[in-house]
Structure 1
Amino acid sequence: MIDKLSIDDVPENLKGVACAIGIDAFRNLIKCAGGTSLYLPSIRCISKPVRDRLIRESFCGDYREMALRFGISEVSVRKIVSKKS
């Protein structure tokens, strides 16, 4: 039955999700997580590990430049660079 689900069948409060990911992906999401509470992290939260990796990969000794480039403090850059991934 779920294979016949169209965008018109999706409840209004979920249409935005279905449109954003596509009806096929929405069907798969329902199959794997339907009926559960699903938490989706914010962009900021999910992007932080990527930002930290980019800082470590591109760090060339200038904490100030990295802080300005990524919009964080020099102390934060130092903490990120000193952490081993």
Structure 2
Amino acid sequence: MINKLTIDDVPENLKSVVLAIGIDAFRSLIKCAGGTSIYLPSERCITKPVRDRVIRESFCGDYKKMARRFGISVVRVRRIVGEKS
């Protein structure tokens, strides 16, 4: 029956999810995790490792420039650059 599900069948509080990911992905999500609680991290939390990787890959020796570019402190840039990949 899940393959017959349309956006009109979805409760109002979940329609924004369907609009964001599409009905097929929503059906898959229901099959995979229906009935469970799912925690979705914030965008900032989930992209932090990406930001750190980009900083390490594009670091050219100017800590202040990188700090301004990414909106973080010089100390944080130094820590990121010094961390192991």
Percent identity between matched residues is 79
Structure-2 residue corresponding to 1:53: 53
Q: CA deviation at 1:47?
A: 1.1
- The residue identity in structure 2 corresponding to 1:5 is L
Give the total of aligned pairs: 85
Structure-2 residue corresponding to 1:4: 4
Structure 1 unaligned blocks of 5 or more: none
CA RMSD of aligned residues (A): 0.5
Structure-1 residue corresponding to 2:44: 44
Structure 1 runs, 4 residues or longer, greater than 4 Å off: none
Structure 2 unaligned blocks of 5 or more: none
Corresponding position: 1:81 with 2:84: no
Structure-1 residue corresponding to 2:72: 72
Q: Distance in 1 between matches of 2:67 and 2:17?
A: 35
**Residue deviations 1:31-54, cap 9 Å, x none?**
001011001110110110110000
**Residue deviations 1:26-77, cap 9 Å, x none?**
0000000101100111011011011000000000111011001100000000
Q: CA deviation at 1:80?
A: 0.4
List aligned pairs for 1:22-41, cutoff 5 A. 22-41=22-41
